[in-house]
Amino acid sequence: MTNILVTGSNGQVGSELRELAKEYEYTFFFTDRESLDITSKEDINNFVTQNNINVIINAAAYTAVDKAEEDEKNADKVNHLAVEFLAEIAKEKNIKLIHISTDYVFDGKNYKPYNEDDVTNPQGVYGKTKLDGEKALQEINPNNSIIIRTSWVYSSFGDNFVKTMLRLGKEKEQLGVIFDQVGTPTYAKYLAKAILDILPNVKNEKVAIYNYSNEGVLSWYDFAKEIMRMAKLDCQINPIETKEYPTPAKRPHYSLLNKSKIKEEFGILIPYWKDSLDECLQALGARK
């Protein structure tokens, strides 16, 4: 019997894992910050022992990118120290660990899609703490454990760009959206499905890193335009530069991820971003 602990189960990926759970022959234990404090090694250890956990999917993260700039201590607790504790327990108890990370570990100055072994250079607290979590996991090196870096995550659950655009598209006649940040959105449902599909085949002695996002390339402006088109919202989207929309945290200008490694090693197919967006809008009842 495979007993899977899912942390951060009320987040976007965690919620999608919960939706998919019935399709897989695993026993899931979905936890949030109220039911399991992952910043306490003792709490994790007790939970894992009591429930005979043999797989951990760490979908928990401090994802408030701008807030992290002034709340580094708490961001570090969740994105770094908690990962360290999970890795230590995974190693002690021979537990498989799947950890979700981010494109923010890069500086966004590349000119071609990032490979897993490209040089990291986070530009803000969020990216730095996520990279520190990655490094802790790699250093502790529990068997059969991987890191999956992803980007621009959205879902029918939680707060995200798609839902914000749908709301603003109904409220406003026009919106300015950034066109000089380029990457690929990730529908959390397909990231969650990829994790569960590759799970039985994760077998490695050294922590491996993989990239995952949907296929294609676009800007936030392109993304917003397509959301309005699919939802048939009469809101004009205007392209603006990053400098016209200053934020506390610096965003990567280029965060395209090369997915060749995960596709080749696990034989998975990754959907095109427009098809995934279409499906998410249908789930939200917003596709017209």
Catalytic residue among 62, 104, 114, 126: 126
The residues, ordered by sequence, that sit 6+ positions from 191 with a Cβ below 8 Å of its Cβ are: 13, 16, 100, 148, 150, 153, 212
Pairing state between β 96-102 and 218-219: unpaired
| Token pair in block for residue 176 | 């300015």
Residue for token digits 């919960």? 18
Is-contact 90 138, C-beta < 8 A? no
Task: Find the angle CA(275)-CA(57)-CA(218) to the nearest 5 degrees.
Answer: 30
The residues, ordered by sequence, that sit 6+ positions from 198 with a Cβ below 8 Å of its Cβ are: 262, 266, 268
Among 243, 124, 125, which Cα is nearest to 181's?
243
Is-contact 120 105, C-beta < 8 A? yes
**How far are the Cα atoms of 42, 75, 115, 143, 245 from residue 88, in angstroms, in the given order?**
11, 19, 27, 11, 41
Query: Residue 3: what residue type?
Result: N
Residue for token digits 């965060």? 255
Q: Is 126 a catalytic residue?
A: yes
Is-contact 124 252, C-beta < 8 A? no
Q: What are phi and psi of 182, to 5 degrees?
A: -120, 140
Euclidean distance between the first and the last CA atom of the chain, given in angstroms as a whole number:
43
- Which residues are the active-site residues? 126
